[in-house]
């Protein structure tokens, strides 16, 4: 059963309308299994990657499965989980760390645990990028101690990532840095204006705010060391190892290793096994069409589709059935 939320959620749709009713009414498919007639897919802001990718994905999945996909513009990860919790969405894209917080009732979901969803598959990495001004002299995360550092908006997922990464280096986010809470664009502007020394950004690459900054200001992309990644991944199962290629931003001369969270599809536990099986199968058997419709589709990989899903969070039985069928899991 869904838990009631104390606060109503204001959610934008593609046409600035309220979210419609979910598509949990199921029809019988030709094999007699329950197949949903409609899926409400919660994404993100209508200018962001989540929404654009969701529109492309929804169109292809609708064509291949016969299920109507109602793609909605929303407030992204945290809001999407709450929309599933309240029954206003069936499926959503979220960061894997945020779904971990929700499932375990920690950090962003401290005291507000929900287990109304299961994982479907990871889609693409969102890299933790630590950007410093060249003149600051910052070369490592250890160098951030005592510096003016923006860690994302207050209470955001970025702030929790920054807190965890800094802690791996023995740096207390509240005591050992001059903490600033700014979004990506304002952080880039503040670094350009010499109001901060460095900032954290968690996003797919290249990130526009950093690209624009690097064209007019010398920057250092700060790495996360191998031993610290091992420590982080042991403590938090959602982190994966990624590299920012040297060609990503102006002035970079070599790849920079970092950690990443994963954009991930989750789905309401009440959606039938057959529905989720058909959706999962359609995603990975139509990768080329999805990649042609959106650049992030090129990063779909069935072999790594469960990497980054924390062990605390179960795969939906329909997704599990597909991944067993293709030999990804046993």
The CATH number linked to 82 is: 3.40.190.10
Same domain flag for 137 and 224: yes
CB 310 within 8 A of CB 96: yes
Domain membership flag for residue 252: yes
∠ Cα 231 200 111 (to 5°):
70
Total domain count, the chain: 2
Residues 158 and 38 both lie in one domain: no
CA distance 321 to 277: 7
Residue range 55-71, pLDDT digits in tens: 999 999 999 999 999 99
Is 21 inside any structural domain? no
How far, in Å, CA of 51 to CA of 42, rounded? Answer: 8
Find the helix packing angle between 96-104 and 157-168, rounded to 10°.
Answer: 90
Q: How far is 75 from 185, CA to CA, in rounded Å?
A: 18
Residues 198 and 269 in one domain: no
If asked whether residues 38 and 107 sit together in one domain, one would say yes
Whether the model clears a pTM of 0.75, i.e. scores above it, the answer is yes
Q: Is residue 4 part of a domain?
A: no
Residues 118 and 133 in one domain: no
- Among the candidates 235, 261, 287, a domain finishes at 261
Within a domain: 18: no
Nearest to 287 by CA among 125, 38, 57, 68: 57
- Decide if 185 is inside a domain: yes
How many angstroms separate the first and last alpha carbons of the chain? 30
Spans of the chain below 70 pLDDT: 1-33
Any idea what DSSP says for residue 205? Answer: S
Full residue range of the structural domain in which residue 168 is found: 126-261
Q: Do residue 254 and residue 273 come from a single domain?
A: no
- Are 182 and 239 members of one domain? yes
φ, ψ (nearest 5 deg) of residue 92? -155, 155
* 146 and 294 assigned to the same domain: no
Name the E strands within 147-216.
Answer: 148-150, 178-180, 198-203
Count the alpha carbons within 13 Å of 133 in the hemisphere toward its beta carbon: 19
Report helix, strand or coil for 2.
coil
Evaluate whether residue 171 is within a structural domain. yes
């Amino acid at each position: 059963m869904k838990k009631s939320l104390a606060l109503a959620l204001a959610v934008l749709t593609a046409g600035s309308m309220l979210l419609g009713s979910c598509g949990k009414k199921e029809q019988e498919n030709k094999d007699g299994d329950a197949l949903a007639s409609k899926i409400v897919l919660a994404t993100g802001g209508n200018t962001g990657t989540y929404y654009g990718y969701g529109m492309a994905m929804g169109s292809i999945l609708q064509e291949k499965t016969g299920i109507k996909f109602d793609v909605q513009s929303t407030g992204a990860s945290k809001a999407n989980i709450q929309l599933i919790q309240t029954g206003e969405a069936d499926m959503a894209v979220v960061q894997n760390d945020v779904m971990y917080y929700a499932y375990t009732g920690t950090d962003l979901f401290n005291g507000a645990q929900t287990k109304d969803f299961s994982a479907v598959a990871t889609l693409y990495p969102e890299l933790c990028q630590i950007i410093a001004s060249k003149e600051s002299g910052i070369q490592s995360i250890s160098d951030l101690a005592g510096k003016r550092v923006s860690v994302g908006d207050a209470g955001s997922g970025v702030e929790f990532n920054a807190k965890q990464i800094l802690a791996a280096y023995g740096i207390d986010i509240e005591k050992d840095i001059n903490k600033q809470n700014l979004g990506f664009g304002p952080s880039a502007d503040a670094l350009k204006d010499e109001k901060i020394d460095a900032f954290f950004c968690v996003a797919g690459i290249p990130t526009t705010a950093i690209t624009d900054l690097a064209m007019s200001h010398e920057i250092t992309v700060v790495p996360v060391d191998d031993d610290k990644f091992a420590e982080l991944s042991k403590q938090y199962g959602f982190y994966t190892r990624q590299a920012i290629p040297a060609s990503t931003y102006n002035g970079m001369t070599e790849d920079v290793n970092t950690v990443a969270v994963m954009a991930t599809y989750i789905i309401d536990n009440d959606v039938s096994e057959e529905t989720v099986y058909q959706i999962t199968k359609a995603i990975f058997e139509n990768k080329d069409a999805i990649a042609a419709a959106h650049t992030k589709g090129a990063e779909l990989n069935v072999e790594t589709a469960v990497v980054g899903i924390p062990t605390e969070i179960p795969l939906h039985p329909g997704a599990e059935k597909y991944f067993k069928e293709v030999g990804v899991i046993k």
